[in-house]
Structure formats: C-alpha cells, structure tokens
Structure 1
Amino acid sequence: MFNRAQMVLVPVMAALLASACSTGGAVQIGGASNLAVVPSDSLPAPTAGDYAAAARPFIIGPYDIVSIDVFGNEDLNLKEIQVDAGGRITFPLIGTVEMAGKTPGEAARTIESMLKGRYLRNPQVTVNLTETSSQVIAISGEIKKPGIYPIVGDMTLLKAIARAEGWTEFSKKREVLVFRKVGGQQYAALYDAKAIERGQYADPELYPNDTVVVGDSQARRNMKDFITVVPPIVGPLIFLLGNNN
C-alpha cells in the first residue's frame, strides 16, 4: 500500500524518534540526500492546486455519486448518478457537465447556467454528494482494519485510527507516520499518538490522499510483559522527502 520511499523511511523514523526522546527533540540527519527536517510543528495543508479545487471537504471527484434536483422539474432530477473517470456526467437537455474539482454548490451553478435561457427561465438546481470515492485516505501498518477510508467532514489522525477500528495489541503508538504530497513535494510527519491522547499536542487534521502508517512494536511481540517507558516527543517531527513530480 505504500511505496519504496515510505518503506525505507519507517525504520529511519523509529531511529529519529529515539534520538528526539533522548536529546530533548534535537535531531540530526545524515545519509539520504533527499531527507530533511522541516522547521515546523505540523504538516502543511494541501493547496488548491493539489486538488484542482479551492474548497474542502466536499469536492466532487471521479467515481463519486451525486444526486441532482431541479426545482419544479421532476423529469430532470437524477438520483445517485456516478461521475465518470474523467470527472463528468451526462445531464438531460444539456449533455456533458464537468463535475470534478467543484463543490456541490459550484456544480449546481454550472448546471443552472447551462439550463438558463435555452431550456428554463430561472432554474434552481441542488447537487448533493451522496457517496465519495475520490476523497480518501489510506491507513496501513499495525492497525485492526487497514484500508481505504473516505473523508467526509473533518478528519483527524485519532479519528482515522478509530475509523480503522483502532490499535492492535502490537501497535507502536509512538511511531505513527503521515505522508502527504503538497505542491509536488512529498512530506512525512512522525507523531506520538500517546502524547496526542494525553492532550500534550493537538490531534492533527488529515486531508484527502494522505497515507497513515502505524508502527509495529516488535519488542511487545517478543516480550509481551515487558514495558518500555519512553518520554513522549513534544511535537511531531516533519520531514521533506523531496520532489516526486
């Protein structure tokens, strides 16, 4: 589910976490030329260009399912029509309508403008996003139910873990990674979920196309009754992995 760069980064993150805990958060990195610590306490939020749309979270994308109502014109109402792979639908009278990258409100205004004058005097259109396949996050690693999960509304890291049915016996809560691409740059953040649960820093917000990887506590597999006490990191460690364009 995650690529080679992510697989390589997991053990690197574990070593960095140990370094951060033992040195009070100071981290020095050598080796990989495309790995750098970003002086920030959070991952950057995706920009409009990362989604081809300015608003969040309700953005229509390929394979999403929408319902369209035209007030007073039941023959034009469409229930649960799927957006095609190119981000379009076919609508009665007006033909092809570009839907991807628009909010439901923007899509409604587009349909109104295409209907107005030629077919209806003053159309009133409502578009509802009923099911999304395009706004998703991937959750993998040591979690009860890895998979692809939709984002509708606000989604945080702990909410995403709960959506995936929570931690396993061997989850390493202090090694939770979030990968994100912003403006062609690939970022990664290392979070201590135990510290977040204690309220020591904020539960980070997730965005569509994020990948969450939960670490595996090999020590607990080998010695289930052995407890290692590691001080939580003060905040997340943010990494810039390089340009993946």
Structure 2
Amino acid sequence: MLRHSHLLPLAALLALSGCAGGASLGSGSNAVQVSQALPAPTVTTDTTDFSNYRMAPRDQVVVEVFGAPELKREGEVDAAGNLSMPLIGSVVAGGRTPAEVSTAIADKLRGRYLRNPQVTVNITKAVGQTVTVDGAVRDPGVYPVTGRMTLQQAIASAKGSSDLANLDNVVVFRRVNNQQMAALFSLKRIRAGQMPDPQIYGNDIVVVGENATRRFLRDVSSFPVGSFIPFIL
C-alpha cells in the first residue's frame, strides 16, 4: 500500500494540474477518487490492448505471413530481445510494438522471398502486465511491468521526462475495487531522496504534467523575431 504525505485532496490536484497544463482531473467528476492512500490494485481479467505495447523478453507471440502458412511462427522473444524466424533468422523485437516488428519482418522477407509480404504479429502472453506512461515524456506508450517497478523506472521506460515536464505534477491513476483512484507525486522530491519512490503496478496510468511557462516560451520562440503576438487579457 502506498501511503504518502504528498498525496493531495482533489481540490489541490485540480489546481496544480490546471496550472501545469498536463495531468488534469475533471472538476466535480465522480469517476476518480483521490485519497491519501493508494492501495495495490484489484486483480482484473480485462483484455489488454497490445497495439502500443513494447515487447519484452519471454513474451509469447504468433507471427503469420499472409499466403505463406509455412512461415507461421509461434514462440517467445529470447533473453536478448530477439525473435527467431524461418528463412530470415533473428529479428529485434524487444522494445518494439507488434506493428514495428511486423514491418521489420516484412522488410527482411521482401524481394528475396516474397514480393509484397503482409505480416501480422500478435502477442499471446506478455511476461508481466503493462503500464501506460503519457504526458510530458520523451516516448509516451505502453510498457511491460516486469518484476517490481517504481515510478522513476516507469518514466525511464518512456525515455524520461521531456523538457516541458512539471516534475512536481506526476499523477498515477489506478483501479482499486472497481473504483478509479488517483494520486499526485513530485518526481523532483523523489529524485532528491526526500520521499519514497512509489511502486507501480500493471494497468497503472502515469501522466507527467507540463510546465505551462516552458510551453509558452517554446511556442513564442517559434515566432519570427520582431513580430507581434496576439495577447488576450
């Protein structure tokens, strides 16, 4: 169970997230419960959407090539993150989405073996569950949770926070007892060792808020030098 003095009531979450321009929680919504305790999630049997999932070692997959049933491959990603295929050998799968692996396989088959290969890659079993990392990070997406993962590790999976990130405004969404819950964390204070790095579970959603001032300055820098910018009071 995550118990944290930095988990804020809903009014504070709304105020901070509104200023950050990123991880916003709907005002007056009954869909999200904000509490000072964010328990471990309830186990569910929901089907996971793997379209944006980054594959990991030991994930089990099925590869099919349209019109070439002899090239069908059922197996798992090896410890190095590679997938062994007939004719073309190893293909890098670790860190890639199923669509990206499909493209890589098709590229290797094209020309030498097939004129226009149509390849599909489906994940039949993931090693662990997944976490969605969104907002002001360098590579938003769905990533595997293998073993014990912390908030810092989840954000690192998305290649870290972006230059526009508000490190004091990181929201974790989690479903507990059929209720969507949320908590606000300061990545800046976690990195400084001023508060514990909370555990992240499968199906959590991590949203890193944006710094409104940094975004404004970035947008302004795109205007030609000497030009006037409309400003509404």
**TM-score with structure 1 setting the length:** 0.46
**TM-score with structure 2 setting the length:** 0.48
